[in-house]
Amino acid sequence: MKARTFEHRIGQLYPSGGIRDDEMQKMAPDSLRFITTRLPFRTTDLSSNAGLSKQLGIHAELLADAQVDLIAFNCTTGSLVGGPDTINKKIYDATGIKSVTTIEAVMEALHASEMRRVILMTPYRTEVIKAEIEFLEASGYQVVNSIGIPCDDPVSQGLIPSEVWYELACSVKGQDFDVVLASCAGIEIADVIQSIEDAIERPIITSNQALLWACLHRLSIPSRPQIYGALLRGNFDDATNRVLRLDC
């Protein structure tokens, strides 16, 4: 049997307690492979999120050994609290490899969608939700509602079935909003992204979906997954967003 080859490898830095690091690979084109290294993360409070970027260079170097093309720091609030510029610099200084963080990808996706009124859906604690709402509103977005299932640890976040997120997202139908932001790289939601969009008749942006979208653009990969929502199909791509112009 002929061995499968991959045109691109992306190193994924992922919280150690997270159990949904397969979401990125599930949505990715066949030519793209994700290789994961863990970062210490056992609880979901703000201090744990801040701690993700400590000793980052050591963990990033392990991914560099696999000669990856790009490194993805995949934790939404971890990259928000740690600061994407700081995180990217630490990774580059340690490896010489460029990187992208989840919060960057989420903000780029929101910018590309040109949608401002957001319903925030998360598995976060109150303090983390507050920090993200403050960040979004300082960036010019209006968080019109916040819904979710608070979890104290990343394993609990990942154990919530995708159908639960579908039902929760559908509960906002009829409210006045532009887009649902499902924030968290640790939840199982990829399989219901399209179903949610069909039901609420609005786009949904999820952390892993946005990060994959950002990775595809940074590596100039033209393949566009068709079943994971409008963002990944390329519906929001245009020349002004520093991304590929693709038919959809």
**Residue spans per domain, the chain:** 8-104+209-225, 107-207
pLDDT digits (tens, 9 = 90+) for 181-210: 999 999 999 999 999 999 999 999 999 999
Query: How do 117-122 and 99-101 pair as beta strands?
Result: unpaired
pLDDT digits (tens, 9 = 90+) for 98-109: 999 999 999 999
Topology match between the domains 8-104+209-225 and 107-207: yes
3-state DSSP assignment of residue 235: coil
Which residues have a Cβ under 8 Å from the Cβ of 248 and sit 6 or more positions away? 224, 233, 234, 235, 237
Q: What is the pLDDT of residue 155?
A: 97
**Does residue 239 carry a pLDDT above 90?**
no
- 183, 121 in Cβ contact below 8 A? yes
Q: What is the pLDDT of residue 3?
A: 53
Q: What is the pLDDT of residue 21?
A: 96
pLDDT digits (tens, 9 = 90+) for 146-169: 999 999 999 999 999 999 999 999
Which residues have a Cβ under 8 Å from the Cβ of 222 and sit 6 or more positions away? 244, 246
| Cα(130)–Cα(63) distance, integer angstroms | 33
pLDDT digits (tens, 9 = 90+) for 43-57: 888 888 888 888 899
- Just give the CATH number of 8-104+209-225: 3.40.50.12500
User: Which CATH number among 3.40.640.10, 3.40.1440.10, 3.40.50.1860, 3.40.50.300 corresponds to the domain 107-207?
Assistant: 3.40.50.1860
